[in-house]
């Protein structure tokens, strides 16, 4: 029996066709099954894709989930994504709200509203797919053309990024970024932790982030944090420093409670000093290290006759002295050049604490001016009106001279001693009688020295010892008298009289003496004045 080649070929063709048909059927079934069980991001590749049903995240690529985990905002996935998109894509929230009507839109990350660096390298594609929102974040063409980093470089960048995030998160100061609408679009850990104290147990962190400090914040502004729900130890004053950038600014708020307390203490101390100085009769002018008037009291206005507006303008030391000179409140020297030299010497002496002079003004007033150094190169001038004191001193001296003239006119020799035994005064008759002027000697002319002189000029007697005891006695004293014999044979009448203040007057009169020569008395007065 021969082989039928036609039949064999036909059977082979049928087998091949059946195999091809089965293969096509299986491929179609697998393709359909994969479509039913696969992700909606089957064509995602390396893109960052999100799929939301309202605020609920339905699906996301691994890159998308990594992005959400890096956003330092707590709450739902939609809030975390908005915290990433809003600073980088202008108007994204408004466009997403209108997405059901638009169907799809694309935004470029130009970062015009306080966006973060690098935002211009991104693109956002949003689509409305049967009630679901599909968002795709991709880089621009220029971004994709960047050279691929080697693993070590990529690891170094990641480590540095993690370090910077850790530093910002642990910084003990408040750091945040706000857009041109003064909305907080980024904040560090300290800011978020402080803002979280205002939230209830069931509340989530809102977006944009809540503002803790007043708006707007300017560079160098000092603001006080006082919000309900925040612990007292976390509130207080902060020193804000803002760095402006296109469309927004970054703000650093450094705690300044200690500085504020120091300034308040200093201000209270200065007010206390000012109130104290206000009641002093001495004029006070304090000049700083630049020799500008820093502080003065009301008495200075009365003593110098300077207008308040001049002193309030903080004049320099020489401008202050020039103004006093114009009002004849400084002793006028012979020429202006010597006066300026004198004022320069005044500054040097006052800075070292060695300046103290008495100014006799043309008006007849007398000022005592003192210069005292202060810390940090400052200097203080004190003006005291001693006109009354000088007048009282002059009157006292005149009274002393008058009293001396009175006892000098007496014929009786008189010596007056203090309660401690020191010689207070003696008259001309005493000098003629005993042959010496005790007030012109350098020796201590107490009662002991005077009694020794009397013993030497008289016959031996215990009278002078009694005189010493009487002068030293302070109570229960009565006037008494005695006699002594001088070396020349004359009899001397002595009288011991207690005076007020435990002082003692001892008077001597030779027997038969009726008066003292006027010439001798006048010669004694002349020597005393000299």
Amino acid 142: pLDDT: 45
485 Cβ contact partners less than 8 Å away, ≥ 6 residues apart: 458, 459, 461, 491, 492
pLDDT values of the chain reduced to their tens digit, one per residue, 530 residues: 455 656 656 666 656 566 566 566 555 555 554 444 445 555 455 578 999 998 889 999 888 888 887 776 767 888 888 888 887 888 888 889 899 998 899 988 765 444 455 555 688 899 998 889 999 988 755 444 444 555 666 677 777 777 887 887 778 888 888 887 778 888 888 888 777 777 777 777 777 787 777 666 666 677 777 666 566 655 677 777 777 777 778 888 877 778 878 888 888 877 777 777 777 888 888 888 888 998 888 888 888 888 888 888 899 888 888 888 888 888 876 666 776 777 777 777 777 767 788 888 888 888 888 888 877 778 888 888 888 777 777 787 877 788 778 887 888 999 999 988 988 888 888 888 888 877 666 466 788 989 999 999 999 989 999 999 999 988 888 999 999 999 888 999 999 999 988 899 999 999 876 544 444 444 444 444 44
Amino acid 76: pLDDT: 81
Amino acid 151: pLDDT: 64
- Report d(CA 472, CA 420) in Å as an integer: 7
Of the chain, the end-to-end C-alpha distance in Å amounts to: 182
Q: Give the tens place of pLDDT for each residue, 448-499.
A: 989 999 999 999 989 999 999 999 988 888 999 999 999 888 999 999 999 9
Q: Could you tell me which residues are beta bridge partners of residue 358? A: 368
CA angle 42, 44, 47 (to 5 degrees): 160
Nearest residue to 143 (alpha-carbon basis) of 71, 59, 48, 65: 48
Contacts by residues 316-323 (CB-CB < 8 Å, ≥ 24 positions apart)? 316/287, 316/290, 316/291, 316/292, 317/287, 317/291, 317/292, 317/293, 317/343, 317/347, 317/379, 318/291, 318/343, 320/285, 320/287, 320/293, 321/346
Residue 273 burial (CB < 10 Å; 0-12/13-18/19+)?
Answer: middle
Amino acid 530: pLDDT: 44
CA angle 63, 68, 74 (to 5 degrees): 170
Query: How large is the C-alpha radius of gyration of the chain?
Result: 54
Amino acid 464: pLDDT: 92
What pTM value is reported for the model? Answer: 0.41
Amino acid 467: pLDDT: 92
One-character DSSP codes across 451-516: HHHHHHTB-S-SHHHHHHHHHH--SS---EEEEEEBTTS-EEEEEEEEEGGGEEEEEEEETT----
Tell me whether strands 132-139 and 236-245 are parallel, antiparallel or unpaired. unpaired
Amino acid 408: pLDDT: 79
Amino acid 162: pLDDT: 79
Q: Which residue has the tokens 């600014």?
A: 249
Amino acid 463: pLDDT: 92
Amino acid 35: pLDDT: 47
Q: Quick one: three-class SS letters along 63-102?
A: HHHHHHHHCCCCCCHHHHHHHHHCCCCCCHHHHHHCHHHH
């Amino acid at each position: 029996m021969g082989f039928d080649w036609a039949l064999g070929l036909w059977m082979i063709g049928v087998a091949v066709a059946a195999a091809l048909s089965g293969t096509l059927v299986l491929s179609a079934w697998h393709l359909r099954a994969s479509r039913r069980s696969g992700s909606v991001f089957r064509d995602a590749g390396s893109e960052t894709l999100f799929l939301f049903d309202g605020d609920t995240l339905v699906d996301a690529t691994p890159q998308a989930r990594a992005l959400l985990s890096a956003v330092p905002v707590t709450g739902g996935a939609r809030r975390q994504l908005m915290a990433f998109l809003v600073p980088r894509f202008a108007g994204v929230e408004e466009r997403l709200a209108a997405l059901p009507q638009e169907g799809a839109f694309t935004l470029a990350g130009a970062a015009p509203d306080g966006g973060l660096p690098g935002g211009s390298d991104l693109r956002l594609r949003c689509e409305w797919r049967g009630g679901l929102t599909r968002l795709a974040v991709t880089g621009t063409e220029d971004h994709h053309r960047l050279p691929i980093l080697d693993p070590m470089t990529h690891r170094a960048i990641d480590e540095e990024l993690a370090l910077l995030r850790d530093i910002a998160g642990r910084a003990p100061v408040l750091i945040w970024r706000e857009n041109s609408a003064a909305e907080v679009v980024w904040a560090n850990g300290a800011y978020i932790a402080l803002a979280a104290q205002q939230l209830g147990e069931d509340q989530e962190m809102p977006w944009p982030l809540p503002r803790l400090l007043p708006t707007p914040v300017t560079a160098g502004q000092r603001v006080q944090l006082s919000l309900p729900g925040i612990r007292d130890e976390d509130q207080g004053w902060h020193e804000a420093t803002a760095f402006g950038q296109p469309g927004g600014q970054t703000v650093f708020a450094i705690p300044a409670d200690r500085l504020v307390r120091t300034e308040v203490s200093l201000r209270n101390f200065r007010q206390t000093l000012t109130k104290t100085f206000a009641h002093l009769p001495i004029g006070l002018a304090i000049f700083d290290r630049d020799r500008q008037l820093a502080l003065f009291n009301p008495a200075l206005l009365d003593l110098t006759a300077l207008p308040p507006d001049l002193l309030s303008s903080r004049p320099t030391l020489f401008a202050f002295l020039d103004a006093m000179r114009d009002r004849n409140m400084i002793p006028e020297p012979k020429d202006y050049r010597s006066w300026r030299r004198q004022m320069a010497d005044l500054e040097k002496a006052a800075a070292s604490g060695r300046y103290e002079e008495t100014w006799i003004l043309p008006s007849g007033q007398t000022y005592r001016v003192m210069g005292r150094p202060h810390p940090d190169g400052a200097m203080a001038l004190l003006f005291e009106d001693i006109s009354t004191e000088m007048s009282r001193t002059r009157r006292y001296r005149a009274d002393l001279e008058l009293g001396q003239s009175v006892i000098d006119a007496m014929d009786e020799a008189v010596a007056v001693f203090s309660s401690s035994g020191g010689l207070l005064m003696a008259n001309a008759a005493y000098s003629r009688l005993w042959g010496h002027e005790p007030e012109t000697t350098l020796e201590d002319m107490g009662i002991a020295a005077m009694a020794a002189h009397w013993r030497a000029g008289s016959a031996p007697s215990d009278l002078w010892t009694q005189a010493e005891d009487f002068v030293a006695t302070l109570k229960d004293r009565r006037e008494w008298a005695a006699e002594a014999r001088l070396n020349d044979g004359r009899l001397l009448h002595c009288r011991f009289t207690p005076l007020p203040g435990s002082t003692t007057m001892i008077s001597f009169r030779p027997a038969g003496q009726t008066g003292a020569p006027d010439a001798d008395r006048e010669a004694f007065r002349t020597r005393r004045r000299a």
